[in-house]
Chain A
């Protein structure tokens, strides 16, 4: 089993809904990431947190809002999403940013109706 836990596993939401994705790791990693993955495509980086501070936003629309309440938790708040935002959202962590291995969770499968 993965050491990065994501909830929920599946989420269906309407375009006017507000929902949140949650991610938790207890490996003491200080870098955490959100990725988006479409079917049969590689993961695309969305956000990077380093020591609980947002260090990278890969030009993600403001309808996605990340939050890092502490070193073990990472949230992704969703609001007014579009159907094209339907995808697998993956959380990952690493010891630090840089070339330390990424540990991915199993993702949240999001469907926007």
Chain B
């Protein structure tokens, strides 16, 4: 059973545009929601994370929006750059749990 559903599978955006990736989760007990960025040939790297007591978190051009009642969270990449071209994974987990439930991933391509 997939606990975190991620969409779209892929997206193409022009340089300077906004990339939006959406995730929905099932388990209302989840309380930590990280996003990982993975470039080809590299391991995933933590990009930004949010906890459910916050509705929005911004770090530079990256913003997470969190809607607890809808059990959804999303990543917005503002002013997208070619260097942002990567695969993005959302994830969720419980406090004191060992396991991250990953979404299926979104491949973002930013065209110059």
Residue of B at shortest CB range from A44?
A: B102
Chain A residues closer than 8 Å to B49, beta-carbon distance: 101
Residue of A at shortest CB range from B33?
A: A99
Asked if A106 meets B97 with Cβ closer than 8 Å, knowing A42-B89, A99-B32, the reply is no
Complex CA distance for A104 and B34, rounded to whole angstroms: 13
Interface-side segment among B38-46, B60-68, B73-81: B38-46
Number of interface residues of B (CB under 8 A): 26
Contact B104 A43 (CB under 8 A): no
Contact A41 B105 (CB under 8 A): yes
- Is B26 in contact with chain A by the CB < 8 A criterion? no
Residue of A at shortest CB range from B6?
A: A42
In the assembled complex, how far is the CB of residue A63 from the closest CB belonging to chain B, in whole angstroms? 22
Q: Mark A81-93, 1 if CB is under 8 A from B, else 0.
A: 0000000001010
Q: Mark B94-107, 1 if CB is under 8 A from A, else 0.
A: 11111110111101
Chain A residues closer than 8 Å to B46, beta-carbon distance: 101-103
Selected contact of A99 from candidates B45, B95, B104, CB within 8 Å: B95
Residue of A at shortest CB range from B100?
A: A102
Task: Describe A's contact surface by its main secondary structure.
Answer: loop
Asked if A90 meets B98 with Cβ closer than 8 Å, knowing A42-B103, A99-B32, the reply is no
What size tier do the contact residues of chain A reach? 20 to 34
In the assembled complex, how far is the CB of residue B22 from the closest CB belonging to chain A, in whole angstroms? 16
In this complex, which of A4, A40, A42, A48 has the most chain B Cβ atoms within 10 angstroms of its Cβ?
A: A42
- Is A110 in contact with chain B by the CB < 8 A criterion? no
Contact A97 B102 (CB under 8 A): no
Contact A104 B43 (CB under 8 A): yes
Complex CA distance for A101 and B50, rounded to whole angstroms: 11
Complex CA distance for A41 and B36, rounded to whole angstroms: 13
Chain A residues closer than 8 Å to B109, beta-carbon distance: none
Complex CA distance for A104 and B96, rounded to whole angstroms: 19
**6 new A-B contacts at CB < 8 Å, known A42-B105, A43-B89:** A40-B87, A41-B104, A48-B99, A56-B99, A97-B97, A99-B32
